[in-house]
């Protein structure tokens, strides 16, 4: 004997509205760009992202060659102030400053010519003293940022400024880098070396060089 | 007979308060920096000035070498968009874009190889046609600025891009200059020449170079 299957309509009539809604949603999900509503939502999300993530500006700062720690060099102060005045302006929530100070290794011992080093601890203390001096320098910039209300991060690295700055750019990935420049002539550059030119050539992000103005330069332009 | 003057006190007692007030105001006016109120007014004025005068950003734009007019080159489009996204952000009233397009003189005739020049008028027409093409290019950038609501000015100059850009920087005095770069290697540079490097060295204002990303570069990196 053969089983005759019951004839029920396919699809069952009470499921038809659900199936239609499901199909519409399924087709919509295949073409998100065609659905006007989802496209609007997408652009909203993008613009929100743009607003929520501030532009990250790395500023390389160093100490004054004339006055020494904790005074900032004329050119790095100028670069910092230029960034605030011309780029950040009143949009303090739109930017974050990344303040990097590179301490030159070779000069470590110069301020401590009179000290006596008797143990490894003495050297450690000397290094800590130097770091403290660098922190005082950074304090100046961080305080200014706080006054204005712009977010910032500051840190110290040791080594050759040119290489360290480029290395930190690769690590931190700022949107761009601001470096001060003494604006030396070609003859002076041979003896002094310019960090800014090296960064413009080798840093893996856009670089903007801010020169000191003529009236800000000391008698010997190599001083800063 | 001698006239005896009436003895009136000097100063008359009813004028004493007025004289005291006048003297205080007079002394105050001599030392505006010492008066706290006027100093506050001064800083208010300075910050208003800072807010009212937007940062003037010059952006050098050129046509695509691949697609020709009115299409913008990949690198100048990138430089323009970067400026809006990373610098201007939502602070549209704080910036003004100065869009400069330099038309290269030597290439003037190339698109008109089939044309016949019979009179000085023909040459004038040809030059006007070229200017119209340049205007179409600028239209693209100006429209984008209007969409976003950032102020802009756009104009065309003829000549060698490197020299003209530096000349216009001297004339217009922007706060900084943005130039796009194809990011060519040292070997390719010899044959193509880079406008951006020349500007970084010779323009009398800070310059920021924006490189194309690798995925945006066409097969031949000299194309743009």
Give pLDDT, residue B11: 62
CA distance B99 to B80: 9
Give pLDDT, residue B16: 75
Cα of A214 to nearest chain B Cα, Å: 13
DSSP lists the bridge partners of residue A126 as none
DSSP string for residues in A98-129: EEEEEEPSTTTTGGGTT----SHHHHHHHHHH
Neighbour count for residue A34 (Cβ, 10 Å): 10
Cα of A65 to nearest chain B Cα, Å: 23
A94/B89 CB distance under 8 A? yes
> Which among B91, B200, B207 has CB closest to A90?
B91
Residues of B in contact with A85 (CB under 8 A): 50
DSSP string for residues in B165-183: HHHHHHHH--SEEEEEE--
A91/B89 CB distance under 8 A? yes
Q: What percent of chain B has pLDDT over 90?
A: 44
Q: Parallel, antiparallel, or unpaired: how do β-strands A95-103 and A55-61 relate? A: parallel
Residues of A in contact with B208 (CB under 8 A): 176, 206-208
B176/A86 CB distance under 8 A? yes
Give pLDDT, residue B49: 46
Residues of A in contact with B209 (CB under 8 A): 200, 206-207
Inter-residue contact A192 to A184 (CB < 8 Å): yes
Residues of B in contact with A175 (CB under 8 A): 86
A210/B206 CB distance under 8 A? yes
Inter-residue contact A162 to A207 (CB < 8 Å): no
Q: What percent of chain A has pLDDT over 70?
A: 75
Of A132, A154, A192, the residue nearest A59 (C-alpha): A154
State the DSSP H helix or E strand holding residue B16, giving kind and residue range, or none if neither.
helix B16-30
Residues of A in contact with B51 (CB under 8 A): 89-90
Total-model pTM: 0.72
> Which among B55, B89, B210 has CB closest to A55?
B89
Sign, CA torsion B132/B133/B136/B141? negative
A86/B55 CB distance under 8 A? yes
DSSP string for residues in chain A: -PPPPP---SS-GGGHHHHHHHHHHHHHHH-TTT-HHHHHHHHHHHHHHHHHS-EEEEEEE-B-TTT-TTSBPHHHHHHHHHIIIIIITT-GGGEEEEEEEEEPSTTTTGGGTT----SHHHHHHHHHHHHHHHHHHHHHHHHHHHHHT-EEEEEEEES-HHHHHHHHHHHH--SEEEEEE----HHHHHHH--HHHHHHHH-SS-EEEEEPPGGGS-SSTT--
As a 3-state breakdown, chain B gives helix, strand, coil percent values, each rounded to 5, of: 50, 15, 30
| CA torsion angle A75 A78 A82 A83 (round to 10) | 70
Confidence of residue B46 (pLDDT cuts 50, 70, 90): very low
Inter-residue contact B70 to B140 (CB < 8 Å): yes
A82/B207 CB distance under 8 A? no
Q: Parallel, antiparallel, or unpaired: how do β-strands B207-211 and B176-181 relate? A: parallel
| CA torsion angle B154 B158 B159 B165 (round to 10) | -10
Mean pLDDT of A99-122: 70
Of B39-53, B130-144, B192-206, which range is least confident? Answer: B39-53
Contacts (Cβ under 8 Å, ≥6 apart) of A216: A74, A78
Structure tokens at A74: 């004329």
A91/B87 CB distance under 8 A? no
State the DSSP H helix or E strand holding residue B50, giving kind and residue range, or none if neither.
helix B36-52
Note the pLDDT tens digit of each residue in B101-155.
999 875 444 555 566 777 778 777 877 887 888 999 999 999 999 999 999 999 9
Residues of A in contact with B177 (CB under 8 A): none
Q: Is the pLDDT of residue B44 over 70?
A: no
Confidence of residue A85 (pLDDT cuts 50, 70, 90): very high
Give pLDDT, residue A115: 64
Contacts (Cβ under 8 Å, ≥6 apart) of B145: B97, B99, B151, B152
Note the pLDDT tens digit of each residue in A86-103.
999 999 999 999 999 999
Cα of B149 to nearest chain A Cα, Å: 15
> Which among B50, B87, B207 has CB closest to A87?
B87
B91/A94 CB distance under 8 A? yes
A85/B50 CB distance under 8 A? yes
Q: Parallel, antiparallel, or unpaired: how do β-strands A207-211 and A176-181 relate? A: parallel
**Would you tell me the crossing angle of helices B161-172 and B195-202 to the nearest 10 degrees?**
40
Confidence of residue B68 (pLDDT cuts 50, 70, 90): confident
**From chain A, which residues contact B within 8 Å (Cβ)?**
50-51, 55, 82, 85-87, 89-91, 94, 175-176, 200, 206-211
The position carrying tokens 């008028």 is B121
Structure tokens at B143: 């429209």
Which has more confidence, B202 or A46?
B202
Note the pLDDT tens digit of each residue in A158-173.
999 999 999 999 999 9
Cα of B69 to nearest chain A Cα, Å: 27
Mean pLDDT of B144-172: 94
Give pLDDT, residue A217: 78
Confidence of residue A52 (pLDDT cuts 50, 70, 90): confident
Q: Is the pLDDT of residue A17 over 50?
A: yes
Site from B51, B85, B86 to mutate, A interface, most A CB atoms within 10 angstroms:
B86
Residue B154 phi/psi, 5-degree rounding, is -135, 140
- What's the length of chain A? 224
Chain A, nearest residue to B91 by Cα: A91
Give pLDDT, residue A2: 55
CA distance A133 to B79: 39
Chain A, nearest residue to B57 by Cα: A86
CA distance A169 to A161: 12
């Amino acid at each position: 004997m053969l089983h005759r299957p019951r004839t029920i309509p396919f699809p069952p009539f009470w499921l038809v509205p659900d199936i239609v809604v499901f199909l519409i949603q399924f087709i919509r999900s295949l073409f998100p760009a065609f659905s006007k509503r989802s496209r609007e939502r997408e652009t909203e999300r993008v613009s929100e992202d743009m607003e929520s993530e501030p532009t990250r500006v790395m500023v390389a700062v160093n100490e004054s060659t004339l006055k020494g720690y904790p005074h900032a060099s004329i050119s790095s102060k100028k670069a910092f102030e230029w960034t605030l005045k011309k780029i950040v302006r009143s949009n303090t929530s739109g930017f974050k400053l990344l303040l990097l100070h590179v301490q030159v290794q070779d000069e470590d011992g110069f301020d401590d010519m009179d000290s006596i080093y008797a143990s490894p601890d003495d050297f450690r203390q000397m290094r800590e003293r130097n770091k403290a001096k660098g922190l005082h320098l950074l304090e100046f910039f961080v305080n200014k940022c706080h006054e204005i209300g712009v977010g910032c991060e500051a840190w110290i690295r040791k080594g050759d400024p040119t290489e360290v700055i480029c290395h930190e750019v690769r690590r931190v990935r700022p949107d761009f880098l601001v470096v001060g420049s003494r604006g030396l002539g070609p003859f002076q550059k041979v003896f002094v070396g310019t960090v800014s030119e090296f960064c413009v050539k080798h840093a893996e992000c856009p670089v903007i060089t801010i020169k000191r103005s003529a009236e800000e330069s000391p008698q010997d332009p190599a001083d800063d």
